[in-house]
Amino acid sequence: MSRSSTLDCATHMNNIKEPPPTDKLLKKDGRDIRRMFASIAPTYDLLNRLLSMGFDRRWRQRAVELSGLSELPETGQPQGVAPTKCVRVLDVCTGTADLAIAYSQKIGPGGAVVGSDFCWEMLALAPEKLKTLSPKDYAHITLVQADALHLPFPVNSFQVASVAFGIRNVSDLERGIREMARVIRPGGRVVILEFGLPESRIFKMAYNFYFNSVLPRVGNLIAAVGSSERTRAYAYLPASVGEFPDARGLRRLMESLGLTDVKSYPLSMGIANVHIGKKP
Ligand SMILES: C[S@@+](CC[C@H](N)C(=O)[O-])C[C@H]1O[C@@H](n2cnc3c(N)ncnc32)[C@H](O)[C@@H]1O
């Protein structure tokens, strides 16, 4: 795993138990967001499975399927070497690398996946998972500590830039998407998996109760972070989803940033959406 020289989560290690209050987190200052994820990192995977009732895995797999890996442009090669179909994916805000692993499994050996995240404590949980992947079946995964707003990769480096449940947390959504688009080749895809709000009225009522009342309580209890209602990390999740653009708004934004063929695919009645745009 390589570390970006400009970022160093280790400096926050002594101060990670108590995440900032929800209203401060919603301002999306990078240091606060990083501190919050550092504080919940040890229970992040467990809570993902539990609170999504296992759906999170299926959503990531669906995002991979919808990425259209077989239609991607060929990769750049050194001059004089014929281009190949070797697929290179960048998964930003990769956290504990679950989406990177899902891509790696789909691509298989020969391709490459880079997972980047600015929170060392989240990334540090990934190598244990990567150890279990056989190089015979999986594309090689490299982990890099980096800010999604300043990706340390040249233009046209990948065919896919993906993000799962991460772009909502970056302080500058436009810039985050621009950076993803910058590093992919023409014809490549930006793939965004993010929470949404269900459209069916009845389901929405039940879901809102779960999402706003049950989930933060269970999350905070298990993550054991925070000392008051305002300082509990899992209260930030529904609050940040509520502030995030809806599917139409996000599509418009992606189009305004130059992506084409932008489509949204609702998952589980709209609890999550995959948004995909192509770099012309
Ligand atoms: C909800 S987790 C999602 C992790 C993973 N993608 C998944 O599907 O489980 C959000 C991740 O985004 C990362 N993150 C938030 N803002 C970031 C930024 N500006 N640059 C890099 N990583 C960021 C956090 O550190 C955290 O690991």
pLDDT in tens, 8-32: 333 344 444 566 778 788 888 888 8
SS3 assignment, position 227: coil
Of ligand 1's atoms, which has the minimum distance to the CA of residue 163? 6
Distance CA 123, CA 141 (A): 12
Q: Is ligand 1 within 6 A of the CB of residue 121?
A: no
Separation of 177 CA from ligand 1 center, angstroms? 14
Separation of 40 CA from ligand 1 center, angstroms? 12
CB 236 within 8 A of CB 262: no
Strand partners of residue 3: 145
Distance CA 156, CA 153 (A): 9
Q: Is ligand 1 within 6 A of the CB of residue 166?
A: yes
Measured by CA distance, the residue closest to atom 10 of ligand 1 is 166
Q: Is ligand 1 within 6 A of the CB of residue 51?
A: no
State the pLDDT at residue 15.
45
Measured by CA distance, the residue closest to atom 8 of ligand 1 is 164
Q: Is ligand 1 within 6 A of the CB of residue 103?
A: no
State the pLDDT at residue 120.
96
Q: Is ligand 1 within 6 A of the CB of residue 169?
A: yes
Name the residue of 169, 178, 195 whose CB sits within 8 Å of the most ligand 1 atoms, as the mutation to test its pocket.
169
Confidence band for 76, pLDDT divided at 50, 70 and 90:
low
Name the residue of 57, 64, 93 whose CB sits within 8 Å of the most ligand 1 atoms, as the mutation to test its pocket.
93
Q: Is ligand 1 within 6 A of the CB of residue 151?
A: no
Confidence band for 80, pLDDT divided at 50, 70 and 90:
low
Kindly report the number of other CB atoms within 10 A of residue 13's CB atom.
11
Q: Is ligand 1 within 6 A of the CB of residue 234?
A: no
pLDDT of 212-270, one tens digit each?
888 777 777 777 655 443 346 777 888 888 889 999 999 999 999 999 999 999 999 99
In this structure, the dihedral spanned by the alpha carbons of residues 237, 203, 57 and 49, taken in order and rounded to 10 degrees, is: 60
Confidence band for 79, pLDDT divided at 50, 70 and 90:
low
Residue-range domains of the chain with CATH: 2-10+44-196+246-278 (3.40.50.150)
Instruction: Name the token pair of 200.
Output: 């069916």
Separation of 69 CA from ligand 1 center, angstroms? 23
